[in-house]
Structure 1
C-alpha cells in the first residue's frame, strides 16, 4: 500500500510538512540535523504509532506541542483509488487511528503499512539481545499468518499471569497446572509458526547473502526457547523451584532466539564489522522479498543514511534488490550524488531537499 501523499505535523523539528512521494524510490537529502530522519520517523509513526528511535512520545513530539499527527493518502491497489490513513497521539495518552473513514486497531494499521527499517541500530540484529531477533522473526510471522497475533496476545496474557503468581512466592498446584496447560498450548502453536517462517526465509536469505557477500556462508538456526527433547510441561514442572526464586518463567517462546553461524561459530564473533552489516542487510532484504512473495505486495523501506552504512558497491547492490521487488523506499543521505546512477531508467525516482524542517522537490 504505497504512500502517495504525506502530511506530518509536530514531529521533532517538522512543524507542518507536506510532500507527494514517488511510489517507488524517494531520496531525502540535506545536512545533518535538517529533519531527514524525522521524516522517516513520521512514516514509521504512521505505520506503528511510534518512532524507531525512541520509545518516549515526549521526545518525538515537537517542543511546545501536545500531540503529533501524520496523515497520508495510500494506494489501496496498484494504480487504484487512494484512501485516507491518519494517526494522532497526544501526550495525555490518547491515540487515534483511522483508515478510509473508519477507526482501526494497531494490528490492522501494521498490516496496512508493512515497514522495514535499516539504520545504524538495525545492525544490532547480530550483536544485540535475543529480543531484537525475536522481533525480527515475529514481524515476519505476523505478516505471513493472520492467526499469529491472537496466539501471541493469548500467550502474553498467560505468561504475565504465570509470572505474577511466581512473584507471589506460592502457587496453588491446581491453579498452576491450569496456567501451565494454557502456556504449553500457546507455546507450541507460536513455535510452530516461527519455525515454519524461518524455513521459508532461509532460501531468500541464502540467495541474497550470496549476492551481497559471495564466499561467506551464514546458517540460520531457530532456537525455540527450551530443549525440545523434553516436553515443555515437564520442563515447567522441573524448573518450578528456580522460577519461584527468580520470579519469572525461565523457559518458553519468550526465550526464543535466531542463531546465526558462520563457519560453525557465532557470526557476531566471527565476521568483520563490514560483513555483519551485509548479513543484516541480507536478512532485511530477504524478509522483504518473502513478504512480497507471500502477500503479492511490497514493503515500505525506511533507510537512514545508506551511504554511511555501506560502501558504494554494496549500496548499489542493496538498491538493486529493492528495485527488483517494487518496494517503496525512503532513503536519506547527506550528499545526493552518492545515490546517482544507481536506478534503472524506468524506475520512478523522486528527490527531495530537506532543510531546517522543510522539504521541497530537488529534481
Structure 2
C-alpha cells in the first residue's frame, strides 16, 4: 500500500478531510462540484508538488485561508513500514515538502510516489502537442533509469543557453562549438534512454491493447527530434544559419515525439473517438504494468470520472486490468452503481461519498475488512 492515511486542509472546498483508503481500489462518488476531483488534486500535489488542473496555485488554496496542507502516511517500497509525507503551499508561494522529517526536492518527491493520471485531458494524448507525448515518455524514462533526470536537466540547461546565444544574432565560432558539444553530450544519451523506454513499453502496450481493442493494431514509433541517420553534431552544424535566423534550436530532444500508426495511417486520423480512448487507456495501463515489472513497486492511479470516458463493456475490462495489478487506485464517478459491482469479492474496495467538501465512507458490495 502506498497511502494508508490521507489528510487534506484548505484545498478548494476541502476544508478538513481525513481518509483511510483501501490499499487497492477507492471509489469516490458524489455530485459534480462536490470535491471529488479536488481530492485527486490533493494526492497529485502530495506526489508532485503541483496540481494537474491549474498552474495558478492560488486557485487551489481555499478562499480566506493562507495555506493548504496535504499529509499522508505512505509506504513507497511496500515494505510495511509507514512514514509521514507532508506538503504545504502558502498563498505567497512558498512550497514545503517533508518526508520522514527531512526536506525533499522535486525529483526526490516524484520518485517517492509514482503517479499516473487518467482524466478527460489524458484522452487528447494522441491529438495534442508533441510536448504532451514527451512528458508521457519522460515519466517512463525518469522512473526507469536514475540517471535520466541528470541528463534531462543538463540538456535543458544547455539548450536554454544555446537559444539565448542564438537570439543575440551573432555567436563566436569557438563559443558555439563548446555549447554544441555540451548539448550533444546530454542530448544523445537522453534520447537513448527515451528510445529504450519506448521499446520496453511496446510489448506491454500491445498485450493490453489486444484485450481492450481487439482487431486493431497500433504501432508506436519514437522520433528523437533529428534525422536518425545522422549525428546531432552534424545536424546542429548544418542547421546553424537557420537556427540563428529563427533565434532557437530547431533540432534535438526538445523536438522528440511519440507517433502512433494504425493500419499504416496516423492513428489520430484513422481511429474513432472511442478507439482513441482505448488506445490511451492501454498506454496508461502499460506504463503502470511496466513500472511494476521493472521495480516491483506499485503506482497510484488517479482516475477522474471513468464511466463518462468508456462504455460499460470497456469500463469493465479496464477495471479488470486495474484489479489484476498491484496499484492503488482512486476513481471518481457520479453514480457508483456500475463501478461498485465490477470487482471480484476478494478485491480490497472502499467506497466514499463526497458531498460539498465532506467525505464519508459507506459500505460497498464485497467490501473486505482488509484494506
What's the TM-score, normalizing by structure 1? 0.98
- Find the counterpart in structure 2 of residue 17 from structure 1: 17
Q: 1:18-57 deviations in whole A, cap 9, x for unaligned? A: 1111110000000000000000000000001111111110
- Find the counterpart in structure 2 of residue 191 from structure 1: 191
Further displaced range: 215-224 or 311-320: 311-320
Q: 1:156-191 deviations in whole A, cap 9, x for unaligned? A: 110010011011111111001000001111111001
Q: 1:234-264 deviations in whole A, cap 9, x for unaligned? A: 2111111111111110000000000000011
Matched position secondary structure for 1:339 = coil
Matched position secondary structure for 2:196 = helix
- Find the counterpart in structure 2 of residue 302 from structure 1: 302
2: CA distance between counterparts of 1:65 and 1:169? 48
Question: What 5-or-longer segments of structure 1 have no aligned partner?
Answer: none
Q: 1:53-98 deviations in whole A, cap 9, x for unaligned? A: 1111011111222221100001244361210001111232211111
- Find the counterpart in structure 2 of residue 213 from structure 1: 213
Matched position secondary structure for 1:331 = strand
1: CA distance between counterparts of 2:312 and 2:296? 30
1: CA distance between counterparts of 2:315 and 2:247? 46
- Find the counterpart in structure 1 of residue 78 from structure 2: 78
Alignment of 1:1-363 (within 5 A): 2-78=2-78, 80-363=80-363
Matched position secondary structure for 1:342 = coil
Query: RMSD of the alignment, in Å?
Result: 1.0
Aligned residues: 363
2: CA distance between counterparts of 1:131 and 1:76? 29
2: CA distance between counterparts of 1:341 and 1:34? 23
2: CA distance between counterparts of 1:326 and 1:296? 9
2: CA distance between counterparts of 1:42 and 1:340? 23
2: CA distance between counterparts of 1:80 and 1:148? 28
Contact persistence 2:299–2:328 (CA under 8 A)? yes
| TM superposition shift of 1:227 | 0.4
Contact persistence 2:116–2:284 (CA under 8 A)? yes
In 2 relative to 1, CA 65–347 (structure 1 residues): closer, same or farther, beyond 3 Å? same
Question: What 5-or-longer segments of structure 2 have no aligned partner?
Answer: 364-371
- Find the counterpart in structure 1 of residue 367 from structure 2: none
Matched position secondary structure for 1:344 = coil
2: CA distance between counterparts of 1:184 and 1:340? 52
| TM superposition shift of 1:284 | 0.2
2: CA distance between counterparts of 1:78 and 1:236? 46
1: CA distance between counterparts of 2:186 and 2:9? 41
